[in-house]
Structures are given as structure tokens and as C-alpha cells.
Amino acid sequence: MRRLLLPLLAALLALPVVVLTAPAAQACSCAVSSPSRLVERAALVAQGEVVARDDHTSADGMAGSRYDVVVRREWKGPGQPRIAVVSRDHSASCGVRLVVGREYLLLATRSGGAWRVDLCGGTTMLSAGARQGTVTVADVEARLGAGTTPTTRPAADEPGESRAADDRGWWTLAGGVAGLLLAVLLVALVRRGPGRRAG
């Protein structure tokens, strides 16, 4: 019995040292939330394809990724055809690792000049028959309707562009020239008037 007590006592004395000097484990803990609540909380709700990825370091020094996303459909957001999305790389820090070439239902919050997605936000992979996440397109449509498709504005030389602004500019120029001619004519008449009375 005494032989068993000594190793047990040594283990009990060493336990606080092991616990206090062990590195703190990081874990992401998400509060349980319904799909409708996740959709309501998100500042960006969009369906899009990830077309590129770059390394990104967040303001707090955490390593992550910046994704370039082509938006196919949007329910909430800036109405732009391309957006930047950032996330931490590791799920332990609540990061979401997106795959280039895959389509996602993105639920994001605003983060500086980009949109941030995280493990607890409800972002869901849609392409390749996989479903990863808690929110579906049907959940979003039930709450926000059909959504819209962001479109690019045509460039100045593309057909179909409205020329109303150019037409207004031409009329403004013509009105300015006519006004100048009228002013010159009035000045000439005023100068001519006193000469006639003197003669």
C-alpha cells in the first residue's frame, strides 16, 4: 500500500505544474442559433463563387485568407459583382477555409474594406453536391425573397449606355454660347445708342 501512495502523491504534486505551464488550447465555441437568426444578423448575404485566394493578416495579427468572390445572387450587401471576403484560416479561431472554384452561400459581417466570414456565421458550401454549414438558400429565400443579380455598369464606349448625360452637356454648352452672343449684342446696342442721340 505504501508503494502505491508514493507514486500517487508525486503525480498529485506534479499535476498543478503541468496544468499551469501547458499552452492554452484555443477552441471556437458557437452559440446555437437558428438559420433565420443568422440571416438576420448578417450584413452580407450572397451566393458567389470563390475565384482567387491570397494570404491575409487580420488587425489582431491572426493569419488568414482574403478571397475574391464573384457574386451570382445577393440578398444583402453592396450590390457589386465582385467582393473581397476575409477569414482566419483555422477553425480553432472560428475561421472558415473557402475553396477556390467552389460556390458558397456567404453570411458575413463588415470588416474594414472587406467582408468577414466565420465558422459561427452560417456560411455554407453549395457546389459539388456538398453542404457545409447551417443555412440553406431556401432559408434565405424564406426570409429575404428571391434576391437580385448584381450587374456591372457599362463602360463609356459600350453599346447600350445611356447618353443622357452627354446630351445635357451639349445643351448646356449651346445655352452658354447663345447667352454669350446675346450679351455681346446687348453691349453693342448700348454703345451704339448714345452715339445716335449725339448725332
Q: In this predicted model, what pLDDT tens digit does every residue of 69-110 receive, in sequence order?
A: 999 999 999 999 999 999 998 888 899 999 999 999 999 999
The pLDDT score that the predictor gives to residue 131 is: 54
The pLDDT score that the predictor gives to residue 74 is: 96
Type of residue at 130: A
In 3D space, the residue among 82, 80, 129 whose CA is nearest the CA of residue 103 turns out to be 129
Inter-CA distances, 52 with 6, 14, 43, Å: 61, 50, 22
The pLDDT score that the predictor gives to residue 157 is: 40
Q: In this predicted model, what pLDDT tens digit does every residue of 3-43 receive, in sequence order?
A: 654 554 455 445 444 434 444 445 788 888 899 999 999 99
The pLDDT score that the predictor gives to residue 129 is: 54
- Average pLDDT value for residue range 156-172: 43
Inter-CA distances, 173 with 56, 165, 168, 177, Å: 50, 13, 9, 6
Q: In this predicted model, what pLDDT tens digit does every residue of 115-156 receive, in sequence order?
A: 999 999 999 998 655 555 678 899 999 999 999 998 865 444
Q: What are the beta bridge partners of residue 69? A: 50, 83
